[in-house]
Structure 1
Amino acid sequence: MEAALRTKAIVTGHSRGLGAALADELLARGIGVLGLARQPNAALAAAHPGLLREHRLDLSDSAALAAWLAGAELRDWLAGAQTVLLINNAGTLQPMALLPAQDPAAVAKAIALSVAAPLMLSAALVAASPAAGERRILHVSSGAARKPYAGWSVYCAGKAALDHHARAVQLEASPGLRICSLAPGVLDTAMQGEIRATTTEYFPLRDRFVEMQRSGGLVAPAECAMHLIDYLLDADFGREAVADLRDLMQ
């Protein structure tokens, strides 16, 4: 069944949160998904037999990712597809702290997951996919890429790197390649739980996010995933290298 699919996708961090919702939305539309995460998603596998392939991989381990990319699985997965999609969703808020309290090892791990992995996967996808086909790369960005937040310096820097990567790749004008770094809005995911569990000492704007959750200001991942996939498959995708999903929905 996999080889017959005209459109195939790779989704990082598909085991929970927005990643799980994005994978579910793609699978529900008949698009095959290769999910890359540290843990499998049993619910997705049961709901979409034959459409989901999973590979357990710690994307913060750049050497492990490089070794996997050097193998044949990615090229085998993309074989026969006319359109290939890459959603670089996996990321982390940690280390969420002011600069003096940041663990350098945690900084390195966060940048490997949030920056190195998306850039490595993007390059590998283009190299492994048919040149005559269409390739679409979506980086899941954040408003924090464009507005600094105290306590989120690593997170902000990582998301800003994705934005600028998309801008530079768009300038290359590679045939059949579209890319966008897209901020999805504020979602009701485990990351928001991390924010509420911290203190204002480490993240001074914590109370603002706590109130947002209390007032119902968080968007459900499934709702966001529906709109995000609509845009990913739209003819306008990639016209802007950097965008905000909330602006596109107006």
Structure 2
Amino acid sequence: MAATSHPITKAIVTGHTRGLGAALVDALRARGIDVLGVSRSRRAAAVDAAAPAGRFEEVELDLSNSGKLAQWLAGDTLARFLRGAERALLVNNAGTLGPVGPSAVQPPAEVAAAVALNVAAPLMLAGAFSNATSGIADRRIAHVSSGAARNPYPGWNIYCATKAALDHHARAAALDTERGMRVASVAPGVVDTEMQGQIRAVDETRFPLRERFAEMKRSGQLTSPEEAASKFVEYLLSDAFGRTPTADVRSL
């Protein structure tokens, strides 16, 4: 029996240094996929120690600084990395929870930084990725979404609004019918990451549902980053990806 041929696949992952992002890098590389990580810090030593099959590169860049991101995207790094790919992936994973609390306690500078990281960066990267992959037949953009995009939470109006923006971007981008492009905003479930620790540490006056998340941790209801990443990548590489613009790995 002849061996199954797989397309040469390359992926860009933002926020790749820890939590779900780090697990996504490992899951992709374990499948022989080359990965370019983009984040404000580096994790090369930790990644290379695992030595999965796929090659790994990383760029140190503060994605909440839209000016610096635009300057970087004007260069040729994306096109150079993606050269030779038959399937290209962009996973917009980087994001922030804060500022948490009602609008009256939200510092304007923190609001601006959160919107830049959670919304401007993914949309800027999506546009640059589309341009850089115009000659690739199979192109896929995955926004890492959240249940907060689809259900409101007290104290999370910035997080809810920014994640909902990614969902709606996917819905609208899917209507553009770019050749070979699939776009979906995918919720990975409640994952045991540093963000969950931040949620449990916040003052209850700013986030009244804090105890619900603390109980999820105590009762073992949180999904490990590795399990969530495995399901996310399996869906990302499947023929089903992009058939609907929003998805949740828990219901796939």
TM-score bracket for the superposition, by shorter chain length: over 0.9
Give the structure 1 partner of residue 215 of structure 2.
Answer: 211
5+ long unaligned stretches in structure 1 = none
Note the aligned Cα RMSD (angstroms): 1.1
TM (normalized to structure 1)?
A: 0.95
Mapped contact 1:187–1:220 kept (Cα < 8 A): yes
Deviations 1:88-138 (A, max 9, x none): 000000101111100110000000000000000001001011434211000
TM (normalized to structure 2)?
A: 0.95
Whole-angstrom CA distance in 2 between matches of 1:190 and 1:117: 21
| 1:189-204 alignment runs, 5 A limit | 189-204=193-208
Whole-angstrom CA distance in 2 between matches of 1:130 and 1:8: 14
Matched, 1:133 2:137: yes
Whole-angstrom CA distance in 1 between matches of 2:48 and 2:245: 32
Give the structure 2 partner of residue 68 of structure 1.
Answer: 72
Structure 1 residue 46, shift from structure 2 partner: 3.0
| Partner SS for 2:97 | coil
Whole-angstrom CA distance in 1 between matches of 2:234 and 2:102: 37
| Partner SS for 2:91 | strand
| Partner SS for 1:172 | coil
Whole-angstrom CA distance in 2 between matches of 1:47 and 1:221: 16
Whole-angstrom CA distance in 1 between matches of 2:67 and 2:33: 29
Whole-angstrom CA distance in 2 between matches of 1:119 and 1:11: 14
Give the structure 2 partner of residue 37 of structure 1.
Answer: 39
| Counterpart selection for 1:47 from 30, 38, 50 | 50
Deviations 1:140-175 (A, max 9, x none): 000000100110000000000000000000011111
| Partner SS for 2:140 | strand
Structure 1 residue 81, shift from structure 2 partner: 0.5
| Counterpart selection for 1:239 from 234, 238, 243 | 243
Give the structure 1 partner of residue 15 of structure 2.
Answer: 13
| Counterpart selection for 2:29 from 13, 27, 30 | 27
Residue identity (%)? 58
5+ long unaligned stretches in structure 2 = 1-6
Mapped contact 1:15–1:40 kept (Cα < 8 A): yes
Question: In the alignment, residue 118 of structure 1 is paired with which amino acid?
Answer: P
Whole-angstrom CA distance in 1 between matches of 2:200 and 2:236: 31
Give the structure 1 partner of residue 225 of structure 2.
Answer: 221
Question: In the alignment, residue 207 of structure 1 is paired with which amino acid?
Answer: E
Whole-angstrom CA distance in 2 between matches of 1:130 and 1:152: 37
Give the structure 1 partner of residue 106 of structure 2.
Answer: 102
Give the structure 2 partner of residue 180 of structure 1.
Answer: 184
| 1:108-119 alignment runs, 5 A limit | 108-119=112-123
Whole-angstrom CA distance in 2 between matches of 1:212 and 1:92: 20
Counting matched residue pairs gives: 244
Question: In the alignment, residue 176 of structure 2 is paired with which amino acid?
Answer: E
Distance 1:239 1:188, change over 3 A: same
* Deviating 4+ runs (over 4 angstroms): none
Question: In the alignment, residue 155 of structure 1 is paired with which amino acid?
Answer: Y
Whole-angstrom CA distance in 2 between matches of 1:155 and 1:7: 31
Deviations 1:216-246 (A, max 9, x none): 0100000010111000000010000011111
